[in-house]
A and B are shown apart, each in its own frame.
Chain A
Amino acid sequence: MTDQTIELLEQVNAARSSNSTLNILGGCSKRFLGREQTADAALDVSKHTGIVSYEPVELVLTARAGTRLLDIEAALAEQGQALAFDPPHFSEQATLGGTLACNQSGPARPWQGSVRDAVLGIRLINGRGEHLRFGGQVMKNVAGYDVSRAQAGAYGTLGVITEISLKVLPKPKATLTLVQTLDAASAIQAMNERAGKSQLLAGACWVDGALYLRLSGSPAVVAGAAKEWGGNELDDELSFWRSIREQQHSFFSSVENVWRFSIRSSATLWRQDAPWIIDWGGAQRWLRGEFDFATLEAEASDAKGQVSLFRGERRNDEVFATLSPGGKLLHQRLKKAFDPQGIFNPGRLYSWM
C-alpha cells in the first residue's frame, strides 16, 4: 500500500514541460484493448495502491487506482460483500483504475450494473497537472457534472485516475445456473422474456448451442425457481461464468479477430452461421472472424447499438465505433478541456484524439 501521488504528479508535470506524451499503465492486463500505444513514455500507476477506506455498513469502498482487483475482492469477501459488476481480470495484475478506464464489467452487468454505475467519485490528474476530486463517497451526489462516470470508456484520455470510490453490494446468499440446449434465436427470446418477468436473473448467456441462466437470491427461493424454470443445474457454474467473463472459453482461443457488439438485447440474430457468443441477456454479443468493419457497423446500427474490435492484430486503424460528426466534435473539445496539450494516451481511443 503506497501513495505515489507526488511521483505521478511530477511525471505529469515533466511531460507537460517537455511537451511529451504518456501511456498510462496499471497491471497491463488490458493492453490488448483499444488502439496501439504510441506515447513517448510510460506512466506506471500500478505502484499507487491500497484501500484508502472501506465501510461495509455504508456499502462504500475507496481505493487507489493501482490497487489490484484481486486485493479489493479479497477485502470485500471478508465482509460478505463483492463488486456487483463482477469485472473481468484478464490477468492477476488487473487494477481498479484500468477497469474503470476501459469500462469492463462481467456477465451480471444487465442486472447488477456496470463499473460505471458503481462509481461514486474519483480523483484525477488532468493535463494541467492538477489533482482534482469529483463526486464523493455517498450514493447520491448531483453537484457538478458527473466527471467520474465520464471516465468509463475514455481509456485514460482525459487524465490519470488516481483514486476511485465505489458502491459495493452484499454477496448473493445463493446462486445457481440452469443449462438447456436451445438454438440462438430461441435463446434470445427466452433470455428477454425471463428478464422481463423475474428479479432473480443474474446472468444469461448462449454459447455452443446451449442457454445458461444464472439465478441469484436466497437458497430456498433460487432452488424453488430452478424447478419452475426447467433445464439442468450446472455442476461447476463458477468455472463456466469465469470462462465467459475472462474470455478463457475455447471460442476465444483462436487467433481470429473478436468483435464486440453492444446492442438492443432482443435484436434478431443475423449471420446465423458465424461463430457467436450471446451474453448479457442478448445485449453483448461476441463475433469471431475476419469482417469488414464498416459492414459490421451498419449491422450494429440496425440492431440499435455499436460494434468495436475487441481482440485483433489490426490496432493502428480505428477499433472503436465510429462517432457521429457531432459526437466527434464533443470528444475533441472534451479532450482539450481536460488535456489541452494531449499528454495522455494519444490515439488509444481514436486516431484523432
Chain B
Amino acid sequence: MNSHTSSLRNDLAKELHRFMSAGCVISDAETQRPYESDGLAIYAAMPLMVVLPETVEQVQNVMRLCHKRGVPVIARGAGTGLSAGAMPREDAVVLSLAKFQNVLDIDPQSRTARLQPGVRNLAISEAAAEYGLYYAPDPSSQIACTIGGNVAENSGGVHCLKYGLTVHNVLSVELVTVEGDLLSLGTEGLDSAGIDLMALITGSEGLLGIVTEVTVRLLPIPSSARLVMAAFDNVQAAGDAVGAVISDGIIPAGLEMMDSHAIIAAESFANAGYPTDADALLLCEVDGDSDEVQDQSVRVEQLFYSLGATVVRMSRNDEERALLWKGRKSAFPAVGRLSPDYYCMDGTIPRGQLSYVLTEMQRLSEEYGLRVANVFHAGDGNLHPLILFDASKPGETEKTEEFGGRILELCVKVGGCITGEHGVGVEKLRQMSVQFSREEIEQFHRVKAAFDPEGTLNPGKGVPVLKNCQEYRAIDAAASTS
C-alpha cells in the first residue's frame, strides 16, 4: 500500500470516529478480511476500510464525507452475491448495512412490511407468518441474503413465473444519495407519478444509491401446495412437457429442471427419491386454493405421463413436498461435492431453445475438458450451469471463466440474456458488450450519471467502460492473485 492510501485511511478514520463508535469503523487488515469478496470468492480485493453505520443519519454522514473527499463507496448486504457486485477496491470504503436488521412494521391490513435493508429475506416471511402472509421472492440464499441486497440485484428465486421478481414485490424505498441526501421513492400505493424510479433502483447493483429502508408487499400464504416430480429419458421430452403445462393454462408456482449430472449429485446428497437413471427431472409445484391445487396437480400428472415421463410422483403431504424440494435446493452444494470447485453461471434463454443450448453446452464441455451440470428454472427460462473445475490446477480457473463466458454468449445468441438474477457485478462486464451496443451502454452510463455524477458509487461494476479495457485487466489481475 502506498503512503497516499495510508494517510487517506488515517484521515478518514479520524473523521468517521467523530460520529461513529470505534467498533463500527474497521481499518485493520485482519478484521477487514471477511469483506474481501462476496459469494463469488474468486474475485477478491482488500478495501480501504469497512464501515458499519447504525443509523440512517450515520449513513448520510459517511456518504457526505466520502463525497467531499471523492472516495468511492461500495454498499454491502450479507455478501451472498454471485457476481462480485460487492467486491472491494483498495481506494474504496465498503459500507455494510449489516446493522440494519429490524422489521420496522408489518401492516396486516394493507399487507405490507416496512424493513431495514439488513433484514434477511426469510425473516420477512417468518415475521409475517402470524398474519397468514409471506414475502414471495425466495432466492436460494434466502436464509442469509438481505432485502437490501435483493433490491440491489432484483433477486428472483424458484417462484418467479407466478409471483414475480423483487421489482414486482417492492413498493417503496428510502435512499441515501451519493451526496448524502435522503430520498423517498415509490409510495404505499401501487404506482407513483413520473418516471418509474423504483424500476431503475431495483437491480441497480449499488450503483445509484444506498437503500436504507424498503417497503414490500406481502401475499396470503397459499392454503395448499403440491409438487409433481417427473423423470424423462431425454431433455427434449422434458422441455416439451414444460411447454405442455403452460399451454394448458397452468401457471405453476415453481417449475424446475435438472439434468442427469445434477440429478445424481442431488440424490446422493439429499436422498429425495429421484430416479438416478433419468436424463432430465422436472419438479412442478402448484399452489393456491386447495380444490384448485387438486385440479391442477392431477392435470399436470396426466400431462407428464402422456408426454412420456418414465416416473411420476406427486407429494401427498408437506413433508414429501419438502423432501422432493430438498434435492433441488441442495443441488449447488451437492454438485460441489463432485469436484474441488464449481462455478455457477446464470443466463436466461427462451424455453424453446433449451434442447439446443444443452447440446451446445455439452459440446463446449468437451472442448474445454470441463464437466458441467445444469439446474434450470424452467418456468422462466433461467439456466444455472455449474462448471466443475479445480482451482489448484494452473490455468483451470481462467479456462473455466472462458467457458462460462461462452455459455453466456450462447444465451444471447438464442435470444436470451447474460444474467437472470445474479447481476453483472464485475463478473459479467465483458459479456455486457455482447448483449448491448455501444450506444446502449453509453445510455446506461448517462442513467448512472443522473444519480451519481462523479461515479463514486460502486465504480467499475455493472456497466463496462467502453473506451478502454482497464477494467478487464483489473479483473484478470484480481482473479490471478486470489
Contact surface of A with B, Cβ cutoff 8 Å:
55-60, 80, 103, 109-110, 113-114, 116-117, 126, 128, 130, 132-134, 136-154, 157-158, 169-171, 173, 189, 192-193, 195-200, 217-218, 220-221, 224-225, 261-267, 280, 282-284, 304-306, 308, 320-321, 323-324, 326-327, 330-331, 333-334, 336-338, 349-350
Contacts and interface: CB of A to CB of B under 8 A. Distances in A.
A144 B444 contact: yes
Given A149-B167, A198-B220, A264 B110 contact: yes
B226 to A, nearest CB: 14
Given A132-B443, A262-B189, A140 B380 contact: yes
Nearest to B462: A144
Interface in B299-348: 348
Interface residues of B, number: 95
Interface in B205-244: 208, 219-220, 222-223, 243
A141 to B, nearest CB: 4
B208 to A, nearest CB: 8
A270 to B, nearest CB: 15
Contacts of A151: 196
B481 interface: no
Contacts of B251: 169-170
B428 A140 contact: no
A198 B219 CA distance: 9
| 4 A-B pairs with the lowest CB-CB distances in the bound complex, closest first | A262-B189, A305-B189, A149-B199, A170-B249
A149 B190 CA distance: 14
B133 A196 contact: yes
Given A197-B220, A283-B189, A337-B447, A349 B168 contact: no
B190 A218 contact: no
A331 B295 CA distance: 49
B185 interface: yes
Interface stretch (B16-24, B95-103, B433-441): B433-441
Contacts of A306: 187, 189, 192-193
B183 interface: yes
Contacts of A55: 350, 352
Interface of B: 107-112, 131-133, 153-154, 156, 160-161, 164-165, 167-168, 177, 181, 183-185, 187-197, 199-200, 202-204, 208, 219-220, 222-223, 243, 246-247, 249-251, 287-289, 291-292, 295-296, 348-352, 377, 379-382, 415-424, 428, 432, 435-437, 439-441, 443-444, 446-451, 462-463
A120 B437 CA distance: 18
A130 B296 CA distance: 47
B449 A109 contact: no
A58 B379 CA distance: 9
B187 A139 contact: no
A138 B220 contact: no
Contacts of A154: 194-196
12 contacts: A57-B247, A114-B190, A132-B443, A134-B440, A137-B350, A138-B349, A140-B421, A144-B424, A198-B289, A304-B187, A324-B184, A337-B446
Nearest to A81: B249
B372 to A, nearest CB: 20
Contacts of A225: 289
B64 to A, nearest CB: 14
Contacts of B168: 113, 117
Contacts of A264: 107, 110, 112, 188-189
A326 B451 CA distance: 10
Contact of B193 (A60, A158, A282, A308): A308
A304 B168 CA distance: 19
B187 A116 contact: no
B192 A147 contact: no
A109 B188 CA distance: 15
A280 B463 CA distance: 38
A151 B191 CA distance: 13
Given A130-B443, A306-B187, 6 more contacts: A57-B352, A58-B351, A140-B382, A141-B348, A142-B423, A266-B107
Which of B183, B190, B246, B251 has the most CB atoms of chain A within a 10 A radius of its CB?
B190
Nearest to A137: B415
A192 B107 CA distance: 11
A350 B194 contact: yes
A16 to B, nearest CB: 15
Contact of A320 (B131, B193, B441, B446): B193
Contact of B191 (A116, A128, A142, A224): A116
B190 A321 contact: no
Contacts of A153: 191-196
Given A145-B204, A304-B188, A306-B187, A150 B199 contact: yes
Contacts of B348: 136, 138-141
A143 B417 contact: yes
A222 to B, nearest CB: 9
B10 to A, nearest CB: 33
Contacts of B154: 142, 146
Contacts of B415: 136-138
Contacts of B111: 192, 195-196, 265
A334 B436 CA distance: 20
B444 A145 contact: yes
Contacts of A324: 183-184
A142 B417 CA distance: 8
Contacts of A197: 132, 220
Contacts of B439: 128, 130, 132
A265 B247 contact: no
A143 B350 contact: no
Contacts of B194: 153-154, 320-321, 323, 327, 331, 349-350
Contacts of A220: 291, 295
Contacts of A136: 348, 415-417
A330 B446 CA distance: 12
A220 B292 CA distance: 8
Nearest to B156: A140
A116 B196 contact: yes
A139 B249 contact: no
